[in-house]
Amino acid sequence: MATYKGIQGYTVENLSSDPPAEQSVGQVWYNSTTWKFKVGTEGDGAWSSGGSLNTGRDMMVGVGSSSTAALSCGGEPPVSGGAGVAVEQYNGTAWTTKTSLNTYRYGLGGSGTTTAALVFGGSGPGSADFTESWNGSSWTELNDLNSGRSVLGGSSAGSSTAALAFGGANYPTTSNLAVTEVWNGSTWTEVNDLNTGRESIGGCGTSTAAQANGGGATYPSSAVYNVTEQYNGTSWTEVNNLNTARDAFGYGSPGTQSASMAMGGKGASPVPKCTLVETFNGTSWSTSTVLPAEKSEMGSSGANASSAICFGGTGPGGSNHAETQVWTDPVYTIKAVTVS
């Protein structure tokens, strides 16, 4: 008769109580208290529709700590008094229009929460080095970036007084930048560069523990990268790469170095916008439940992959979208094994 040890190569562990469900996926054990064999299972995570933005747009930055507390700032088309200065706040159900940015911008970076945020860089009138802070009711212009650029990465899980800005493109010269700058609440200071300069990066994490996911080369090159780098407060180190190279995931990507998400985006030309979603567990990337529709250049936010939200962006045909997608984590369950 075949045995579990003979098939799997190891014996069934004997436990007096079940381990946490989210830590037991794929494991089999014997519960000596209930006298039953148990197995850990994982259901699929899912995307659901949330309330639509009041102003549909792309290339905005998302700021916020969860799928029930997010800001959408700036965006394209950059019409003064319109999409480019628009700020909206999400409460888990609907978006509410808030005080506009002082200067219209798109392709900008961001950090912080719905009551204390920082946005920086981006394309628009004048130079691309601007910085503005949000106190929950109004925006204030602060000291500029040392290197103006747009479509850059930011420490989305950082704060309004401690943020990191990295990569991007310094239009109109269209050269990639590897430049990294840290914000201390009043000024920007240049620190060690990215190992691979790129734009349209999926940036997340904090000012001392940031992550740069993917990205692309500037026009006319169509090259995109699967490179993932982590910042430790001093320097950048390359870690395991994305499974699929792409850029323009979303400005203000959700997550930290131990739990992040790269959603949608664009592959190398002429590959269209995609629905692909990957999650990072601190070591490697794995594919996850795809977005309901092809999307790139949307706003996104969340303190970690469990609280991800994305909104707006461009879809097939390049149209500006207003829809919101909210992520629900997989359901972890412990089940009794039935034997006969």
Give tens-digit pLDDT for 255-311. 899 999 999 998 876 556 688 999 999 999 999 889 988 888 999 988 877 889 999
The pLDDT value recorded for residue 80 is 46
Taking the C-alpha atoms of residue 49 and residue 47, their distance in angstroms, rounded to an integer, is: 7
What's the structural domain count of the chain? 2
How far from 178 is each of 121, 122, 173, CA to CA, in Å? 14, 16, 15
Do 19 and 126 fall within a single domain?
no
- Is 338 inside a domain boundary? no
- Is 26 inside a domain boundary? yes
Is the pLDDT at 54 greater than 90? The verdict is: yes
Among candidate residues 12, 27, 42, the one where a domain is terminated: 42
Do 148 and 27 fall within a single domain?
no
Handedness of CA 78, 146, 153, 248 (dihedral sign): positive
pLDDT tier, 183 (very low <50, low <70, confident <90, very high otherwise): very high
Taking the C-alpha atoms of residue 60 and residue 312, their distance in angstroms, rounded to an integer, is: 8
CB 336 within 8 A of CB 76: no
- Is 316 inside a domain boundary? yes
Do 34 and 58 fall within a single domain?
no
Do 30 and 100 fall within a single domain?
no
For 268-277, the pLDDT digits (tens) are 765 566 889 9
Phi first, then psi, for residue 8 (nearest 5°) are -95, -20
Cβ burial, residue 192 (10 Å; 0-12/13-18/19+): middle
The pTM for the full model equals: 0.84
Do 177 and 36 fall within a single domain?
no
Do 91 and 31 fall within a single domain?
no
Return the top range by mean pLDDT from 27-36, 197-206, 250-259, 297-306: 197-206
Helix, strand or coil, per DSSP, at residue 46: strand
Is the pLDDT at 8 greater than 70? The verdict is: no
- Is 290 inside a domain boundary? yes
Return the top range by mean pLDDT from 33-42, 105-114, 172-181: 105-114
Structural domain boundaries enclosing 30? 4-42
Q: Which residues of 300-318 are buried (b: 16+ CB within 10 A; e: fewer)?
A: bbbbbbbbbbbbbbbbeee
- Is 336 inside a domain boundary? no
The pLDDT value recorded for residue 45 is 82
- Is 210 inside a domain boundary? yes
Is the pLDDT at 332 greater than 90? The verdict is: no
pLDDT tier, 124 (very low <50, low <70, confident <90, very high otherwise): confident
34-47 average pLDDT score: 82
Do 17 and 158 fall within a single domain?
no
Do 55 and 36 fall within a single domain?
no
- Is 340 inside a domain boundary? no
The answer for residues whose C-beta is within 8 angstroms of residue 34's C-beta and 6 or more apart is: 336
Do 143 and 248 fall within a single domain?
yes
Least confident of 12-16, 47-51, 80-84, 247-251: 80-84
Give me the chain's average pLDDT, please: 87
Taking the C-alpha atoms of residue 276 and residue 285, their distance in angstroms, rounded to an integer, is: 12
The pLDDT value recorded for residue 152 is 94
Do 187 and 165 fall within a single domain?
yes
Taking the C-alpha atoms of residue 277 and residue 289, their distance in angstroms, rounded to an integer, is: 6
Q: Which domain CATH number covers 61?
A: 2.120.10.80
Is the pLDDT at 340 greater than 60? The verdict is: no
- Is 334 inside a domain boundary? no
Is the pLDDT at 246 greater than 60? The verdict is: yes
Do 13 and 101 fall within a single domain?
no
Do 204 and 119 fall within a single domain?
yes
